[in-house]
Amino acid sequence: MDSTHAKADMVRTPEAPTGGPGQDFLRNIVAEDLRSGKHDFIVTRFPPEPNGYLHIGHATSIVLNFGIAAETGGRCHLRFDDTNPETEDMIYVESAIDLIRWLGYDWGEHLYFASDYFERMYAFAEHLIREGKAYVDSLSEEEIREYRGTVTEPGRPSPYRDRTVEENLDLFRRMRDGEFPDGAHVLRARLDMSSPNMLLRDPILYRIRHAAHYRTGDRWCVYPMYDFAHPIEDAIESITHSFCTLEFENNRPLYDWVVDNIPRGGPVGIPENSRPRQYEFARRNFEYTITSKRKLLQLVREGKVSGWDDPRMPTLAGLRRRGFTPESIRNFCETIGVARTANRVDIGKLEFAIRDDLNTKAPRVLCVLDPLRVVLTNFPEGEVEHLDAPYFPHDVGREGSRKLPFSRVLYIDREDFREDPPKGYYRLSPGAEVRLRYAYIIRCDEVVHDESGRVVELRCSYDPQTRGGKAREGKTVKGTIQWVSAEHALPCEVRLYDRLFTIPDPDEAEGDFTDYLNPNSLVVVDRAMIEPSVRDDPPGSHYQFERLGYFCSDLHDSAPDHLVFNRTVTLRDTWAKARAEHERAAAAAETTPATTRPRRKEEKTREGKAKTAEKAPARTQPRAGSAEPARDPRLVERRKQYREDYGLSAEDAEILTRDGATAALFDEAIATGVDARAVANWIIHELPREAQGRAVAELPITGESLAELVELVETGTISSSGGREVLARLVHGEGSASAIVDELGLRQISDRGQLEPLVIAVLAEFPDKVEEYRAGKTGLMGFFIGQVMRRSGGRANPEVVREVVAEKTG
């Protein structure tokens, strides 16, 4: 499977979206790689770990990976990243396959399992040992952590670091053979115990786990770590672009190291020209819900929902059952696109997408949730009229109609009658008239109560002149309500679902996230009445219940003798007001001192993180600055200027103006004349990671030193990864950027005179490849650049190398 694999591999079924979504930064990278000839065939993958059910966050990644492959005529693999025996299960595999297909994507024959590569991964680990690049460490987990040092202190080498190759091989084989208990030894890469990137301080590659794996059973008791396994999986499959979420940004150098150091060619090596690259995008969070696996599981375990596919869950199984269509989910994901920075997506956009889709798809039917008996005193007893009613009364390009039975006894919704109507009430009340949809205008002549005074029946008369709901001369009737014929209607259960949480950010608010569960997220109406036309529709059918919302018959519980309908979404956004109120409250909280108001969780964790920063490497994405946009008028003004004067996106401008210190840092840096866009990127994307949760105001970095750093990167003097190393020092107040660059020896080699000999040596070493490249296999450019990079200790300027290679291969 190399990158020249037949283009016939389709990644999309016909009903999947057409028309390219707007360009985003990842698509720009892919387009540039195709344009420059770095790749001529794009291979992506969606790599779920089968340890839970897919949710709407995964959907964004599915749509991204399959979408990019489809748009470029490439292919996308479905790969289960199943290297962790303890939590994985076949049920998750099956569920994911089912749901990704349901979403409309197809991976053809490209279904892979990381566990199928265990043997090769093991061989690669032995290879690293033989090359002196990996060793068996026998420190305990606790000791390893201790030896690793902190962000401010370098680590110390393990006393086992210098074991001989023979000793390492012997121990590693015995680990595999099951001679040792869990935790007795690990295999580590021999990298750099004093690297500023903690993940490069001899990362663990393999650990012992005496646990049965759902696919490989007891065959293995050593399992590879993510950082070792994932790049290998990508490299074996010749993935070109490996998209992952931001928390893996710091892992990227390790990813590259693994790809560069595992064997190539031959029966077990990775394909010669496979050179996957990792790119990060922001994990998506959604308002009024949560996507953390652990928290979703908690809801299931505590019985807060009926299961993983409860229609209130943000899981794909839940959304499908709720009545969301694949088209609406794909459209939603494409609309929100991918972002570089974390933010919460307005779930209203998903609701908008489903309304938009169902508007043209869901036939309109009549359903009465709370039946109130209406007797038409002037309609002959025992007679039935059949009224023609279109399924799509508005012009939405769909046809079809059904006959609605109309008789003497009807039900209307109790909601649509008021004994004592307020002014301007257009529905039914004593003496007033209302139109019955597709039927007649009726007048309420008499109200019947039971002993307790409750209204139990309305005695009405109908106007035979108004058949089909026709208007009458001289008299207007404004209200139109739904109804069903008592004798013909079908009793049914209707489940009125609503958002699962009452606030947009339940997992960031004070207290437990379950405190914010919406008590009205499910209201069951068990004696609703629906028109008979739906009787034989299959479960999962979509409808609009006129005036009530979009509904879908329940995939699990609906049966001909017990119809069950789920409300997918209301007809209009009923949350806009609540949201506005929430925002007002948050704004008010911002101007109140922190001590006198309930604190947002983010504030607390920020303090906590400052203390535990050393223990928390790259897993979390702490963000300097508060989560809500600032209201300070000066900052609001700056935000506007950043957009207008520097062309920054609304999102970026907002992040830069969340607090005064961030804005000041930005202003100070750009005052030196360096590119504003580049400065913004460094502050938004790089600084939070190095800040480790500290607020910008607490960082000793100055605008001037930041500007200097940006300039060094922009001019190609140092690489961007070199820039990150410098930034890591700057946030600890260490000197000027250029002094750090010199100290770390980071200056890139951009001098052609220095690079040419390296290029010539590489071309001489791989004459076959040069031939292939000249014959049109332009994807090999990446290979040549990689080789030169390796020879230059990573310091060659790739752009200049590209030019020199192009020139020399003529």
Q: Is 291 in the site for ligand ATP (CB under 6 A)?
A: yes
Phi then psi for residue 626, to 5 deg, are: -85, 165
- Per DSSP, 500 falls in state S
In the set 21, 57, 253, 318, which binds ligand ATP (CB under 6 A)?
57
d(CA 530, CA 366): 6
The span of 54-62, 656-664, 681-689, 743-751 binding ligand ATP (CB under 6 A) equals: 54-62
Query: What burial class does residue 775 get, using C-beta atoms within 10 Å of its C-beta: 0-12 exposed, 13-18 middle, 19+ buried?
Result: exposed
The span of 41-49, 188-196, 326-334, 801-809 binding ligand ATP (CB under 6 A) equals: 41-49
- The DSSP line for 137-155 is E-S-HHHHHHHT--SSS--
Least distance from C-beta 673 to ligand ATP, angstroms?
A: 37
d(CA 434, CA 426): 7
Q: Is 60 in the site for ligand ATP (CB under 6 A)?
A: yes
Least distance from C-beta 3 to ligand ATP, angstroms?
A: 21
Kindly give the residue spans of alpha helices, DSSP state H, lying in 156-292: 165-176, 226-236, 252-261
Least distance from C-beta 48 to ligand ATP, angstroms?
A: 4
> How close are the terminal C-alpha atoms of the chain, in Å?
29
Least distance from C-beta 261 to ligand ATP, angstroms?
A: 23
- For the beta sheet containing 222-224, the strands, ordered from the edge strand earlier in sequence to the opposite edge, are 134-137, 186-189, 204-208, 222-224
Q: Which is nearer to ligand ATP, 49 or 260 (CB)?
A: 49
Least distance from C-beta 617 to ligand ATP, angstroms?
A: 15
Nearest to 262 by CA among 361, 120, 454, 379: 120
- Per DSSP, 289 falls in state S
Q: Is 293 in the site for ligand ATP (CB under 6 A)?
A: yes
Strands (E), 263-356: 277-281, 285-286, 344-345
Q: Is 283 in the site for ligand ATP (CB under 6 A)?
A: yes
Task: Give how many residues touch ligand ATP by CB under 6 A.
Answer: 13
Q: Which is nearer to ligand ATP, 242 or 738 (CB)?
A: 242
In the set 3, 44, 61, 657, which binds ligand ATP (CB under 6 A)?
61
d(CA 397, CA 146): 68
Q: Is 244 in the site for ligand ATP (CB under 6 A)?
A: yes
- Residue recorded with tokens 């970095």: 701
**H/E stretch holding 618:** none
Q: Is 341 in the site for ligand ATP (CB under 6 A)?
A: no
Q: Which residue is nearest to ligand ATP (CB)?
A: 57
Q: Which is nearer to ligand ATP, 328 or 482 (CB)?
A: 328
Q: Which is nearer to ligand ATP, 296 or 788 (CB)?
A: 296
The span of 56-64, 669-677, 736-744, 792-800 binding ligand ATP (CB under 6 A) equals: 56-64
Exposed e or buried b for every residue in 293-312, given b needs 16+ CB within 10 A? eeebeebbeeeebbebbbbb
In the set 17, 47, 622, 703, which binds ligand ATP (CB under 6 A)?
47
Q: Which is nearer to ligand ATP, 331 or 466 (CB)?
A: 331
Nearest to 590 by CA among 652, 620, 638, 633: 633
Least distance from C-beta 203 to ligand ATP, angstroms?
A: 17
In the set 138, 216, 245, 407, which binds ligand ATP (CB under 6 A)?
245
Residues acting as catalytic residues: 49, 283, 293
In the set 39, 75, 275, 284, which binds ligand ATP (CB under 6 A)?
284
Q: Is 48 in the site for ligand ATP (CB under 6 A)?
A: yes
Least distance from C-beta 141 to ligand ATP, angstroms?
A: 20
Least distance from C-beta 51 to ligand ATP, angstroms?
A: 6
Radius of gyration (Cα) for the chain, nearest Å? 32
For residue 424, give the 3-state DSSP assignment. coil
Which residues in this chain contact ligand ATP in the complex, by CB under 6 A? 47-49, 57-58, 60-61, 244-245, 283-284, 291, 293
